[in-house]
Amino acid sequence: MRSFFLFFFILISLDFIFSQLFLLDILYKKELLTFKNDITYRVPDKEFKYSLKKNSKFETRYNYGSSYIDYTIHTNNLGFRDSTVRNLNKNKNYSILIGDSFVEGVALEYKDSLVGLLNQKLGPESFEKFEFLNAGVASYSPYLYKRKIETIINDNKWLKVNSVIILYDKSDIGDNLQYLNRPSSFPTIQKEYKNPKKEKLITDLKNFKFGSILTEQTMIGIVYRRILGDSVEKLLKNLKFRRDLSKQNSNSFFQIEKEKINAMYAIDQYDWLQKYFYEDLWETEGKRSIDFAFETFKELKFFLDKRNIKLYVLVYPWPFDLKDNIVRKKYLDYLNLKFSENNLNNLIIYDEFLKGDIDQNIFKYYLPKDVHFNREGNLILKNKIYKTLLKDSIINDKRK
C-alpha cells in the first residue's frame, strides 16, 4: 500500500510539472487564444463602454452550457463587425442595426448573421448605393445602444445613415438595470491579458484548494473531471428533462423526441436572465427596466428625427416565451403599451416562430440547446426587416 501511494504521488507530481510546463498550453491552446483575443480586440470606450477594435480580424468563442462554438470576426473602420477588414464607402447610404449578441451574430460566421443576410438580399445595383451595418456587440443594452449610435453619428459626419434598427433583447431587461444612473462616461483602461489557468493556480495555492489544483492543473485530474464529472452532470440533466417531459406528455421515458429535449435545454439556458419576467421581479425590476429602455429609445428617436433618420425597434422571441403563453402575452402587452405611448415604429416578429409545433420551431430556428438564432432564424428576421424598409422607401430595390 505504501509503495502504491508513493507511486501515485510521483505520478501526480510529474503530471503536475509537465502540465504546467507545456501540456496545459497544448490542451487549451485554442481556448487561451480566443480568451486573449477577446481581451485584445474587445476594447473599452469612454462613450459606450466597449466596442470591437477597428480594422481587425480575430477568432472568438461563444461558450454556452458545456459546449462552445468558435467563429471569426472582421471589423471595419467604425469598429463594426463586417464581411472583411475594410474602410466604408463614404458615398453610400447606410442602415445601422444595433443590439447585443443576437446582432453581433455569436457562433455564426458573418454570412449567416442577420446583417450578413440582409446585405446578401440586396441586389448588386442596390448594394452599390446602400448597405446594412452591424453595430451590435455581445452584452450591449438600450442605454449603450443610444450612446453608441449618437457617438458614431456625431463623430463621423461623412456617414450617411437613413435608418437605425434596434433589436431589443430579453437579456436587455437585466443588463440595462446597471445603467439606471445614466453614467456619462466609462473607464478606458485596457485589460491586461493573463493566462487564466495560471491565475487560477495561484489563487488555489493561496487558498490551499488542493482538490481544485488536482482536477484543473493535472492531465489525470482533467480527464477524471471531464469523464466522470462533466459526463455525469450532462447525463443527470438529460435524465431530469426526460422525466419531466414523460410526466407532462404521458410518454415513455425512452421515447421522448429530440426536439422536446432540445427545447428543454434551450429554456434552461440563461434561466437567471428569465427571472425578470416572472412573479415579483416582473412588477419591480422588469417593468422598471423596460420603462428605462423606452426612455432611451424616445431620446434616441428625438436625436435621429432631427437628422431625418428613421428609428425602428424590433422584438423577437426566446424559446422560453414561445413555450409560456402567459409570460409572452404579459410581455408583449406591456411593450405594445410602451410603443404606443412613445410613438415608436416597431417590428414584433413572433408569428412565424409560433406556427405549428413550437418544439420543432425551436429546433429549427435556434442554435442547438441555446437561445440565439441560427441562420434559419435570422432569415425570418431578415425577411421582415427587408419588407418593412422596402415599404417605407428606405431601400430602393427595383428588382421584380
Distance CA 249, CA 229 (A): 30
At residue 367 the predicted structure's pLDDT band, cuts being 50, 70 and 90, is very high
Give residue 252's pLDDT.
75
pTM: 0.94
At residue 66 the predicted structure's pLDDT band, cuts being 50, 70 and 90, is low
Distance CA 281, CA 290 (A): 12
Contacts (Cβ under 8 Å, ≥6 apart) of 23: 219
Give residue 55's pLDDT.
99
Residue 81 belongs to a domain: yes
Residue 393 gets the label, from left (phi > 0), alpha (psi -120 to 50) or beta, of left
Distance CA 380, CA 355 (A): 12
At residue 242 the predicted structure's pLDDT band, cuts being 50, 70 and 90, is confident
Percent of the chain with pLDDT over 70: 98
Contacts (Cβ under 8 Å, ≥6 apart) of 163: 95, 96, 309, 310, 311, 312, 389, 394
pLDDT in tens, 350-362: 999 999 999 999 9
DSSP-derived secondary structure for 288-308: HHHHHHHHHHHHHHHHHHTTT
Summarize the confidence of residues 215-224 as an average pLDDT. 88
Mean pLDDT for all residues in the chain: 94
Residue 201 belongs to a domain: no
Count of residues in the chain: 400
pLDDT in tens, 264-286: 999 999 988 999 999 889 999 99
Residue 379 belongs to a domain: yes
The residue ranking higher by pLDDT, 377 or 191, is 377
The DSSP call for residue 216 is H
The DSSP call for residue 400 is -
Residue 262 belongs to a domain: no
Residue 58 pLDDT greater than 80, yes or no = yes
Residue 139 gets the label, from left (phi > 0), alpha (psi -120 to 50) or beta, of left
Query: Domain limits at 115?
Result: 72-194+271-391
Give residue 268's pLDDT.
94
Instruction: State how far the alpha carbon of 393 is from the alpha carbons of 92, 115, 313, 398, in Å.
Output: 16, 19, 17, 11
Residue 283 belongs to a domain: yes
Element (H, E) at 311: strand 310-315
Give residue 283's pLDDT.
96
Summarize the confidence of residues 104-113 as an average pLDDT. 98
Distance CA 55, CA 213 (A): 40
Distance CA 287, CA 308 (A): 30
Summarize the confidence of residues 244-258 as an average pLDDT. 80
Residue 378 belongs to a domain: yes
Give residue 244's pLDDT.
83
Give residue 236's pLDDT.
83
Element (H, E) at 116: helix 114-121
The residue ranking higher by pLDDT, 377 or 254, is 377
Residue 399 pLDDT greater than 90, yes or no = no
Summarize the confidence of residues 161-174 as an average pLDDT. 98
Residue 211 belongs to a domain: no
Nearest 5°: phi and psi at 198?
A: -70, -40
DSSP-derived secondary structure for 319-348: HHHHH-HHHHHHHHHHHHHHHHHHT-EEEE
Residue 400 pLDDT greater than 70, yes or no = no
Give residue 235's pLDDT.
81
Cell numbers for 375: 441562420
CATH of the domain at 340: 3.40.50.1110
Give residue 172's pLDDT.
98
The secondary structure of 42-53, three-state, reads EEEECCCEEEEC
Strand 67-75 and strand 57-64: pairing? antiparallel
The secondary structure of 252-291, three-state, reads CCCCCCHHHHHHHHHHHCCHHHHHHHCHHHHHHHHHHHHH
The residue ranking higher by pLDDT, 6 or 345, is 345
Residue 279 belongs to a domain: yes
Distance CA 299, CA 147 (A): 10
Residue 150 and residue 297 in contact, taking contact as beta carbons nearer than 8 Å: no
pLDDT in tens, 7-19: 878 888 888 888 8
User: In what side-by-side order are the strands of the sheet with 93-98?
Assistant: 57-64, 67-75, 81-82, 130-134, 93-98, 160-168, 310-315, 345-348
Q: Which of 70, 64, 65 is nearest to 31 (CA)?
A: 70
Instruction: State how far the alpha carbon of 89 is from the alpha carbons of 34, 234, 395, in Å.
Output: 30, 49, 17
Nearest 5°: phi and psi at 283?
A: -70, -25
Residue 49 and residue 24 in contact, taking contact as beta carbons nearer than 8 Å: no
The total domain count for the chain is 1
